[in-house]
Structures are given as structure tokens and as C-alpha cells.
Amino acid sequence: MKEMGIRFILMVNKQGQTRLAQYYEWLTLEERRALEGEIVRKCLARNEQQCSFVEHRNYKIVYRRYASLFFLVGVENDENELAILEFIHLLVETMDRHFGNVCELDIMFHLEKAHFMLEEMVMNGSIVETSKANILSPIQLMEKAS
């Protein structure tokens, strides 16, 4: 299991409450809980002038804040941080195209859709799709079908 660029993607609000969690390596419930607590504390304590990257143990967290929602991506040390930062933005743009003025509640109410989008964009911890049309088309087709 070598090339695991992205280890996890988290969406957490300002209060540190998890809004979405997707792990690309298996962690137990306790491990997830501990990890989320630790890194959220770390990232939320930082100010806006500081880097959007934080080293944590043997990997890095790239994070970006949108309104009250933080997007945190855990990556291997040799990942291109700036690219991950833009990947987060692409994800938000994609959600925005789908939901229209996406907000925290949209993600909460449509958790599965947010996950479906991630499933299209990231597989095995690697970015596989970056075209918004391709990402969204399965979801749109499913909506039509049901």
C-alpha cells in the first residue's frame, strides 16, 4: 500500500463537529475519533495568515475554510500541497454546481450525494476525475431514474 496520496477527507465545522468523513485507509472507530479530535484542534487554532498546511505525525493535512466549514485532507508527505488545496476547491465548486449555493446544511441533508461526488473524484487515495460534468453525471442520472 504505497501510493496512497490522499489518506482521508474530512469536513468539519468551526465547532469541530464532523460533517463528512471519508477514509482511504481503514481506521477503527476509536482511531478515527482520536484523529479527528487531534487534527481539528490543530487546524482550527490556526489563523488565516498561516499556511494551509499542517504537519501531523508522519503525514500532512491540507485544509481550507469555506464560511464555517473546514475541508481537511490528509496526504502523504510528498504530495503537492498546493494541488490538494485546489482539489478541495474543485470539490466545493462541484458541490456548488450541483446544489446551487452550497452550504453546510446541504451537505448534512445530502450526505450520500456528497459522498457520491467524492467516490467519483477519488479512488484508492488518488485523484481520478476532475471534470465536473463527469463527476456529476451519475448523480444526475440516478436522480432522474428515481
Partner 1 sequence: MEQLKTIGRELAMGSQGGFYQSKEFLDLVKSIGEARSKAEEDRIVLGEIETLKRRVSEPDIPKRKMKEYILRLVYVEMLGHDASFGYIHAVKMTHDDSLLVKRTGYLAVTLFLNEDHDLIILIVNTIQKDLKSDNYLVVCAALNAVCKLINEETIPAVLPQVVDLLAHPKEAVRKKAIMALHRFYQKSPSSVSHLVSNFRKRLCDNDPGVMGATLCPLFELVSTDVNSYKDLVISFVSILKQVAERRLPKAYDYHQMPAPFIQIKLLKILALLGSGDKQASENMYTVVGDIFRKCDSSSNIGNAVLYECICCVSSIYPNPKLLESAADAISRFLKSDSHNLKYMGIDALGRLIKISPEIAEQHQLAVIDCLEDPDDTLKRKTFELLYKMTKSTNVEVIVDRMIDYMISINDNHYKTEIASRCVELAEQFAPSNQWFIQIMNKVFEHAGDLVNIKVAHNLMRLIAEGFGEDDDSADSQLRSSAVDSYLHILGEPKIPSVFLQLICWVLGEYGTADGKYSASYITGKLSDVAEAYSNDETVKAYAVTALMKIYAFEIAAGRKVDMLPECQSLMEQFLASHSTDLQQRAYELQAVIGLDAHAVESIMPSDASCEDIEVDKALSFLNGYIQDSIEKGAQPYIPESERSGMLNISNFRNQDHHGASSHGLKFEAYELPKQTVQSRIPPATLASTEFVPVPEPMSVRESYPTTIVPSASSDAESTELKLRLDGVQKKWGRQTHSPATSTSSSTSKKTVNGIKQVDGSNTSNSSTWETYDSRKHVEINSEKQKLAASLFGGSSKTEKKPATGHKISKPSSHMVEKSHVRKSSMEIASEKKALVHQPPDLLDFGEPTVQSSDPPSVDPFKELEGLLEPTTQLGSTAAAATNSPDIMGLFTETPGGTHNKDDSDILSSLSKQPVTNMVGGATSTQVAQSSKGPNRKDSLEKDSLVRQMGVTPSSPNPNLFKDLLG
**Distances from the Cα of 22 to the Cα of 7, 28, 54, 122, angstroms:** 9, 13, 19, 10
CB of 111 to partner 1, least distance (A): 6
**Distances from the Cα of 138 to the Cα of 64, 110, 131, 144, angstroms:** 27, 15, 13, 10
Among 8, 40, 53, 73, binds partner 1 (CB under 8 A): 53
Cβ nearer to partner 1, comparing 3 with 7: 3
Instruction: Please tell me whether residue 55 binds partner 1 under the rule CB under 8 A.
Output: yes
Per-residue binding string, partner 1, 10-49, x by CB under 8 A, is: ---xxxxxx-xxx---x--x--xx--x---------x-xx
Upper half-sphere CA count for residue 137 (Cβ side, 13 Å): 6
CB of 18 to partner 1, least distance (A): 5
Measured between alpha carbons, how far is 120 from 61 in angstroms, rounded to an integer? 22
Measured between alpha carbons, how far is 22 from 89 in angstroms, rounded to an integer? 17
Among 6, 73, 92, 117, binds partner 1 (CB under 8 A): 92
CB of 79 to partner 1, least distance (A): 10
E strand or H helix at 117: helix 111-121
Among 6, 8, 64, 72, binds partner 1 (CB under 8 A): 64
